[in-house]
Amino acid sequence: MSERHLRAVGADEVGGAADEPFSGAEAPELALLTPQQRSELRRAKRAALWVGLILPLVVVVAAMAVLLAWSGRLPDPVARHWSGDEPDGFSSQTANLLTYLGLGGGMAVLFGLIGLLGAGQSTQAVWSVMNRIMAAASLTIVTSIMVMAVLTAHLQLDLSDARDAPGPGAAPGLSFGAGIALGVLAFFVQPRVRVDAPPGDEPPRLELGKTERAVWTGEVRPTRVFGWAMFGTIAAMAAGTLSVWLAEGVGIALWIMLGALLLVVVLLTTHLWFRVRADRDGIEARSLLGWPAFRAPIGDIARVEVREIAPFAEWGGWGTRWIPGRGVGIVMRTGEGLVVTRRDGRLFALTVDDAATAAALLTAAVRRNGEEPGGDAPADDTHDTDDTTEERRS
């Protein structure tokens, strides 16, 4: 089944939209939707409510009921954490119940509400695949936590001392597998609906002569807080690797730590800082190391906008994000960004400063490309020695 792709429009654009008045109790973005769009959106939200909030809370309640029913057969305190096959973390039954109740219920509410409201609060989409992903993630995470709570409690039934509990064995794998299975099912049972928000304001015009060339350059870079957090992560991993080397020498543990450290360094250095260039050929974002590089050729650009971007709500987090059917986002902060819509509807989103100038340049290039196929000047102008290049940097 193909995804329903609906764009939000004003009532004056679609006949009959005014037949169903907007209710103030509904989300404000519904005021710009047609009756069909509202119906599709309500159906998608209803499914996300069940998948992302109601069912996870049911799982939490069911797990709590099992733990309460077993309370007379469990030791007190109970084991909550294992190091290998040895339990090394304990708590009272009451604290154990409250911990799992808070953790499971909190995750259900957090991810469930993000699935229901996250992308709808942005200016980029009223409803998208990210809503479905976050709703399904809620059920995945909560199920994994609650199944683990039940399985580890089952290991301790009829024991007088939790320290005698056996190792968790297959419990972590079963918990994770159950969560993933339900999450995948939850994703696919939700309607494949996408409702785009109305397009933003058109960027200011940038008039270029036939022989004039303009280039805009900028950077996508992490915020200072995010950068320091990543630096702290690398430093902590390096310290852990050093301690393993000093304590155990060269061995399998050291190679694992070194491999993990190298992987994190490579991922961070190739996906957190990009140089961006916009010109008559389109827009390109290239990592500081030269790879990876993402491009949108001018002939593939349908629309360019400056929008407020919410990385977590729209793209599921910060960094370089790819969502099937939605596109690529290089998003390092919440705030102003450049959003390029390709002709097939996929997005290329960047959080850059001075996005309005880049949007104006690209829009001018798109107009010129429509007038002059390929965006190039006519062949008889190639000898003109008065070509001008304007370069803007941010």
Residues 112-132 have pLDDT tens digits of 877 776 544 444 456 777 788
Residue for token pair 């973390």: 89
The average pLDDT across 375-384 equals 38
* Omega of the bond leading into 292 within 30 degrees of 0 (cis): yes
Is residue 27 scored above 70 in pLDDT?
no
The average pLDDT across 151-172 equals 90
Band (pLDDT 50/70/90 cuts) for residue 188 is: very high
As beta bridge partners, residue 244 has none
Name the nearest CA neighbour of 197 among 10, 4, 2, 3.
10
Name the nearest CA neighbour of 54 among 102, 100, 97, 115.
115
**The two structure tokens encoding residue 301:** 């650009």
Name the nearest CA neighbour of 349 among 368, 374, 331.
331
Q: Are 351 and 337 in contact (CB under 8 A)?
A: yes
pLDDT tens profile 238-279: 888 887 787 777 777 778 878 888 888 888 778 888 999 998
CA distance linking residue 188 with residue 154, whole number of Å: 32
pTM of the prediction? 0.58
Return the number of other C-beta atoms located less than 10 Å from residue 347's C-beta: 22
Instruction: Give how far the C-alpha of residue 2 lies from the chain's centroid of Cα atoms, to the nearest Å.
Output: 22
Question: SS3 for 346?
Answer: coil
Band (pLDDT 50/70/90 cuts) for residue 283 is: very high
Q: Where are the domains of the chain?
A: 4-196, 203-220+274-394, 223-271
Q: Are 44 and 193 in contact (CB under 8 A)?
A: yes
φ, ψ dihedrals at 329, nearest 5°? -125, 130
Q: Are 77 and 91 in contact (CB under 8 A)?
A: yes
Average pLDDT, the chain: 78
- The pLDDT, as a whole number, for residue 203 is 64
* Omega of the bond leading into 77 within 30 degrees of 0 (cis): yes
Q: How deeply is 28 buried, as exposed, middle or buried, from its count of CB atoms within 10 A (0-12, 13-18, 19+)?
A: exposed
**The two structure tokens encoding residue 144:** 């994994």
- The pLDDT, as a whole number, for residue 380 is 37
Q: Which residue has the higher pLDDT, 137 or 371?
A: 137
Overall CATH class of domain 203-220+274-394: mainly beta
Beta pairing, strands 86-91 & 193-196: unpaired
Sheet order of strands, 282-287 included: 293-297, 282-287, 274-279, 212-220, 388-393
Is residue 30 scored above 70 in pLDDT?
no
CA distance linking residue 263 with residue 286, whole number of Å: 19
